[in-house]
Amino acid sequence: MSEIAKLSYQGNEYELPVTKGTENEEAIDISKLRGQSGLITLDPGFKNTGSTKSAITFLDGEEGILRYRGYNIEDLAEKSTFLEVSYLLIYGELPTEAEYKKFTKKITKHTLVHEDIKKILDGFPSVAHPMGVLSSLICSLTAFYPNSLDPNNSKEEINLSIVRLLAKLPTFAAWAFKNKVGHPVNYPDNGLDYCSNFLKMMFALPAEKFEPDPVISKALDKLLILHADHEQNCSTSTVRVVGSSQASIYASISAGVNALWGPLHGGANQSVIEMLEAIKDDGGDSKKWLDKAKDKNDPFRLMGFGHRVYKNFDPRAKIIKKAADEVLEKLGIDDPILDIAKELEMAALQDPYFVERKLYPNVDFYSGIIYRALGIPTDMFTVMFALGRLPGWIAQWKEMRENNEPIGRPRQVYVGATERSYVPMDNR
Ligand code: ACO
């Protein structure tokens, strides 16, 4: 028998079923509360609201656990590849060798984009932030594949859209970068693996031979795995809500890119590097900057610190910190901002302000340092995050549609003016 929670209010008692997840998380189901009592629940920022039941990603913020489909992130980051993890997230199981080969072959086949998309790209000024360009190019796929607008797309048609997204996003991302630097775009090289192809499209110059460095490709692959899903975060919730109106998968993912862009979400990796650079240029006094972050009259926050869910440590940050050390050593790079980051982390972890509020480095605190070492420019960091998060967004969109979830439409508590008479303009 399922558990029941009771809510009493103004002499009435309401019974609310309690639902339990496979990891014993318990939630009070309030979906029928308004019908019973006229009451809604109020939870700005959805800090305490479960928006769905999902079988994709489990995370325990108190224990610092992150699992995709039951597999620990530490194992996947060490032993898997990004495309294997993508398959796992989207289809629920690790692929067999044959399934993996078929999947990667299909993705490789679809890396090229319609030549007219280059005309759209050409319309962007070089100052355009690559995240805006990326989201626009993704949304433009609705125009090139209008069939994707049909909410009744078959399983095969949806799978084709999924493959197209995974295949074309690296092309779009690299082209967004080329637009920024004013260089001609490179076309995909289907003889290369996913990350090497991306790096070649990013960095190859006309009339120069380009060999992707396997150290860099591998490091990038790991970073993408670490970003691949994170349950109902801001951008993923956006993808699900947009998709719940039966908008096309391309439009939904494009919306996710925009949600990721902000500095409080995926944009934090860019902000972290800008912050570390500013600290370095200012003489490297981490205490001064910690004081600024603690000062409630100063809008400055320690970027890359704090997380809505992790209140102990972010398991991805641990892996990334180690990877940052390894990558910089392998590439023979001595980056002073890595030292500043470590000093800042150590100082913050001993400071009562950060300890009391359970503020720890998040995934973005060290990821930017690796991207920098890999030669990826700062304003491409969030684009890299989007490349990594793509399979998660797809998996969540697919799950939401397969479960026939209702349109996302929260309620509100209205606090504005009550009814009043219209006042003609000359009487105001
Ligand atoms: N620096 C200084 N103080 C902070 C920081 C920070 N980075 N983060 C939180 N705080 C403080 C808040 O001021 C608040 O203090 P108060 O209780 O005295 O008012 C308290 O800690 C709680 O913070 P909230 O903003 O309420 O926490 P919330 O869960 O809403 O926000 C968030 C989480 C947005 C990540 C926040 O910690 C933050 O802004 N961090 C910096 C940006 C960042 O790194 N974002 C990336 C997140 S990871 C990702 O998206 C992949």
Measured CA to CA, the distance from residue 115 to residue 124 in angstroms comes to: 16
| Residue whose CA lies nearest to ligand 1 atom number 28 | 308
Q: Is 359 in the pocket of ligand 1 (CB under 6 A)?
A: yes
| Residue whose CA lies nearest to ligand 1 atom number 37 | 306
Q: How confident is the model at residue 308 (pLDDT cuts 50, 70, 90)?
A: confident
Say what the pLDDT of residue 363 is.
87
**Span from the CA of 307 to the centroid of ligand 1 (angstroms):** 6
Domain topology for 59-403? Citrate Synthase; domain 1 (1.10.580)
pLDDT tens-digit profile of 194-246?
A: 999 999 999 999 888 899 999 899 999 999 999 999 999 999 999 999 999 99
Percentages of the chain per state (helix, strand, coil), in multiples of 5:
55, 5, 40
Say what the pLDDT of residue 369 is.
87
**Span from the CA of 238 to the centroid of ligand 1 (angstroms):** 20
Which is higher by pLDDT, 313 or 170?
Answer: 170
Q: How confident is the model at residue 417 (pLDDT cuts 50, 70, 90)?
A: very high
| CATH topology identical between 4-50 and 59-403 | no
Report whether pLDDT(396) > 90.
Answer: yes
Q: Is 293 in the pocket of ligand 1 (CB under 6 A)?
A: yes
pLDDT tens-digit profile of 28-56?
A: 999 999 999 999 999 999 999 999 999 99
Q: What is the mean pLDDT of the chain?
A: 94
Please identify, by atom number, the ligand 1 atom nearest to the C-alpha of residue 296.
13
Candidate from 84-93, 239-248, 291-300, 365-374 with smallest mean pLDDT: 365-374
Residue positions annotated with a catalytic role: 307, 364
**Are 391 and 371 contacting, i.e. CB atoms less than 8 angstroms apart?**
no
Which is higher by pLDDT, 63 or 104?
Answer: 104
Q: What is the rounded average pLDDT of the residues 334-354?
A: 90
Q: Is 288 in the pocket of ligand 1 (CB under 6 A)?
A: no
Number of CB atoms found within 10 A of residue 55's CB: 13
* Domain 4-50, CATH class in plain words: mainly beta
Please identify, by atom number, the ligand 1 atom nearest to the C-alpha of residue 260.
50
**Span from the CA of 308 to the centroid of ligand 1 (angstroms):** 7
Q: What is the rounded average pLDDT of the residues 96-102?
A: 98
Q: Is 264 in the pocket of ligand 1 (CB under 6 A)?
A: yes
Q: What is the rounded average pLDDT of the residues 333-358?
A: 91
Give the global pTM.
0.92
Say what the pLDDT of residue 342 is.
87
Q: What is the rounded average pLDDT of the residues 390-407?
A: 97
CA dihedral 365→259→91→164, nearest 10 degrees, is -110
**Span from the CA of 205 to the centroid of ligand 1 (angstroms):** 41
| Residue whose CA lies nearest to ligand 1 atom number 20 | 357
Report whether pLDDT(1) > 70.
Answer: no
Tell me how far CA of residue 233 lies from CA of 64, 268, 405, in angstroms.
16, 14, 18
| Residue whose CA lies nearest to ligand 1 atom number 45 | 264
In the chain, domain spans = 4-50, 59-403
Report whether pLDDT(403) > 60.
Answer: yes
Q: Is 363 in the pocket of ligand 1 (CB under 6 A)?
A: yes
Measured CA to CA, the distance from residue 258 to residue 254 in angstroms comes to: 7
